[in-house]
Amino acid sequence: MASLKKGSSALDAVVIAVRYLEDAACTNAGIGSSLSLDGTVECDASVMDGQCLSYGAVGAISDIKNPIMVARKLVEEQRCGNYVCSSSTMVGSGATKWAFEHGIPQVSPDTLKTESSIKTYNSHKRRLRAIEEKKKIKRRKHLQKHGQGNVKDDETAQVICNGKQSSEDHDCNGIQDTVGAVCIDMLGNMAAGVSSGGISLKQSGRLGPAAMYGAGCWAVNWKSEIKPGIAIATSGTGEHLMKTLLARECCQSLQQDDFTENAFKKVFQDKFLDSEFLHDTKEKFGGILALKCDKSDSSAGNYELLWGHTTDSMCVGFMSSNTKVKTVISRLEDDKIAGTTFVMEGRSFKL
């Protein structure tokens, strides 16, 4: 907000907000990100500028403290008409190399790991080994039953003992969140951005929704009375967000329906929970942060901030130029089952 009051753009503010969240070790983005199966940090991030509709994203990028800065740099290059890098999305070692060549320094991989992320990684690895051992035991028993193998009782007992979880496994798995931000500036320009460390124990090279066009974030400026400005940031299970292109679908629904609450409900029910692309998925996990503007002149506009989720909870912080910072922890009702229903809230305000 301080940067906006000094004349910074919505894109500037979104990048600043996401960068601070990446630096916070308690989030699953930047420092403290979930570790891959190989024990490495690989991050995804993207930003979209609602004014020129430029989009920049990086995926599975390593050794970069703030991936959102690389995504922002890609947007800047597009604005400058630099088509040497014609892609709006870069991934892996190529993205890291490109970032370094464009003034974004690399850091030691260990600086992105925290005590908490390492403990969580070790805990999840133990759980994975336990599951694998149980599968082996089940197969051995099957083969032994059908006379195809010979497993000694003491050998089986030893495997079961080694596969047990220690009490530490239940104590070090703090909830980690993907981060995102949406914004409108004093000129009415809108922007959105997201950043994520991906799922724990992911295969190296996995590309998540934070680096996918239409899935992680979306932003468009106000165009007319029938096309309001929208900025969207999403979070949740990556495959669920990617298969439904949730950010773009949400934007289109909010633009097509004058009744914002109805549009938001339709997104969660029709485009997500009942999506044909997730028909074989029992529980669908997703969250949306949305900002809607129905006038081009921000000084005269009406604004709606909405959030909703199918997960157990979602944390939101917001502020306007004439209000103080407010924070909300939204939760599903106790009798609701996460992944099968949703809750939504919102605020209306003027600048």
| Residue range 28-47, pLDDT digits in tens | 999 999 999 999 999 999 99
The pair of three-digit structure tokens given for residue 257, joined into one six-digit string: 């329906």
pLDDT at 171: 37
pLDDT at 225: 67
Cα 4 versus chain centre, distance: 24
- The neighbour count for residue 2, using CB atoms within 10 Å, is 8
The pair of three-digit structure tokens given for residue 190, joined into one six-digit string: 């809108």
Q: Which residues of the chain fall short of a pLDDT of 50?
A: 151-174, 297
253 contacts 271 by C-beta, under 8 angstroms: yes
The pair of three-digit structure tokens given for residue 276, joined into one six-digit string: 């044909």
CA–CA distance, 45 with 210 (Å, rounded to integer): 5
| Alpha-carbon distance values, 164 to 115, 119, 131, 169, 201 (Å) | 23, 17, 10, 10, 19
Q: 339 φ, ψ to 5°?
A: 90, -10
CA–CA distance, 60 with 266 (Å, rounded to integer): 32
Tell me if the pTM is above 0.85. yes
CA–CA distance, 78 with 88 (Å, rounded to integer): 8
CA–CA distance, 40 with 34 (Å, rounded to integer): 8
pLDDT at 152: 44
List, in sequence order, every beta strand (DSSP E) within the chain: 43-49, 55-61, 89-91, 179-184, 190-196, 217-220, 229-236, 286-293, 302-309, 313-318, 326-331, 343-350
Residue 261 parent element (H or E): helix 260-266
Cα 204 versus chain centre, distance: 17
Side chain identity, residue 110? D
Say if residue 344 is exposed, middle or buried (CB neighbours under 10 Å; 0-12, 13-18, 19+).
middle
pLDDT at 82: 64
CA–CA distance, 22 with 273 (Å, rounded to integer): 29
Give the pLDDT confidence of 279-314 residue by residue, as tens digits: 999 999 999 999 999 875 455 567 899 999 999 999
pLDDT at 195: 98
pLDDT at 325: 94
Catalytic residues: 178
